[in-house]
């Protein structure tokens, strides 16, 4: 039948829509113009007419009442260009960040949407998805890179050697692990603990974005370059921004060295402690063992 979408294409579109839905993007429009006015356009229902809309901008502009539709070929609808903003603020939200407008999103719902994920190649070698752990309304969130072997085995973030050091750091700040939230950019262990690749980060980080949106912490500490680059959407190295206050949406963000780096370079611990003291000052914390 003319105009019918081939079955394999229907399947692909359905999968893609399910993927967007998992990311929390649930608003779609097909065609903003009446077909009769623009007969050159693809038939309704063709994939060319299926566009993903940002729920923030869901309301479509209406033509002024006096405006008459013209019958010239309309210019193709240009996607709004988002000029990259200079640090220290994270750039404006992208398509995937549309997830931030999910009403009543919860960590449980995000975990359910993640499911037994097979969206990227990391699923092939993982044993357990490491979603995140800690206080669901923590004022302080630590974001690491990705699970290692111990985390992959236990399903919990930062429980290996680097994790023990992170726990000591948290406790030195006068907190316990249950007071903070700890998660990673990617939720599955990269083989041989390699750095997660761009496509893996792109696939997984929308879930991190949603976690941060739900928790809405006062402070986010990025542990290492991967977390920093992912959240600040930059390719710049961490070194020039380490220990500086940056903005991530409604949270303050500070990047510091990853605990695994500190295990290899114990001399850098002093720098990290200075960074954490900045966080403590913002959160009104006193170092462990220090009385008023």
Q: Which is nearer to ligand URA, 22 or 145 (CB)?
A: 145
C-beta atoms surrounding 157 within 10 Å: 27
User: What is the C-alpha end-to-end distance of the chain, expressed in Å?
Assistant: 79
CB 197 within 8 A of CB 158: no
Rg (CA), the chain: 23
CB of 193 to ligand URA, least distance (A): 8
d(CA 231, CA 249): 10
Helices assigned H by DSSP within the chain: 7-22, 107-114, 149-154, 161-172, 198-215, 225-232, 259-264, 269-283
CB of 146 to ligand URA, least distance (A): 6
**Site of interaction with ligand URA (CB under 6 A):** 144-148, 151, 157-158, 160, 162-163, 184, 260
Q: Which is nearer to ligand URA, 101 or 189 (CB)?
A: 189
| CB-based burial, 54-72: b 16+ in 10 Å, e otherwise | bbeeeeeeeeeeeeeeeee
CB of 261 to ligand URA, least distance (A): 10
Q: Which is nearer to ligand URA, 97 or 151 (CB)?
A: 151
CB of 170 to ligand URA, least distance (A): 14
Q: Which is nearer to ligand URA, 219 or 260 (CB)?
A: 260
Q: Which is nearer to ligand URA, 97 or 145 (CB)?
A: 145
CB 186 within 8 A of CB 146: yes
Residue 143 belongs to what H/E stretch? strand 140-144
CB of 166 to ligand URA, least distance (A): 8
CB of 221 to ligand URA, least distance (A): 12
Q: Which is nearer to ligand URA, 161 or 274 (CB)?
A: 161
Which residue number places its CB atom closest to ligand URA? Answer: 144
């Amino acid at each position: 039948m003319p105009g019918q979408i081939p079955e394999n294409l229907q399947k692909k579109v359905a999968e893609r829509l399910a993927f967007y839905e998992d990311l929390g993007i649930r608003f779609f429009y097909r065609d903003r113009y009446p077909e009769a006015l623009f007969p050159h356009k693809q038939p309704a229902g063709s994939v060319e007419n299926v566009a993903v809309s940002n729920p923030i901008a869901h309301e479509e502009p209406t033509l002024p009442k006096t405006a008459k539709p013209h019958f010239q070929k309309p210019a193709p609808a240009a996607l709004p260009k988002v000029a990259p903003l200079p640090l220290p603020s994270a750039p404006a939200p992208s398509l995937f960040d549309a997830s931030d407008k999910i009403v009543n999103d919860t960590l449980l719902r995000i975990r359910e949407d993640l499911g037994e994920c097979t969206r990227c190649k990391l699923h092939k070698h993982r044993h357990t998805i490491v979603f995140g752990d800690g206080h669901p309304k923590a004022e302080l969130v630590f974001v690491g890179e990705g699970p290692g072997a111990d985390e992959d085995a236990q399903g919990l973030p930062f429980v290996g050697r680097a994790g023990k050091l992170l726990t000591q750091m948290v406790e030195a700040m006068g907190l316990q692990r249950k007071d903070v939230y700890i998660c990673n950019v990617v939720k599955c262990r990269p083989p041989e603990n390699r750095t997660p690749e761009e496509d893996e980060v792109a696939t997984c980080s929308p879930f991190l974005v949603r976690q941060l949106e739900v928790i809405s912490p006062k402070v986010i500490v990025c542990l290492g370059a991967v977390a920093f680059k992912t959240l600040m959407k930059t390719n710049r190295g961490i070194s020039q921004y380490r220990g500086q206050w940056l903005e991530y949406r409604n949270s303050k963000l500070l990047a510091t060295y990853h605990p695994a780096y500190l295990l290899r370079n114990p001399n850098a611990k002093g720098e990290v402690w200075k960074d954490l003291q900045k966080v403590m000052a913002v959160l009104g914390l006193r170092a462990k063992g220090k009385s008023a």
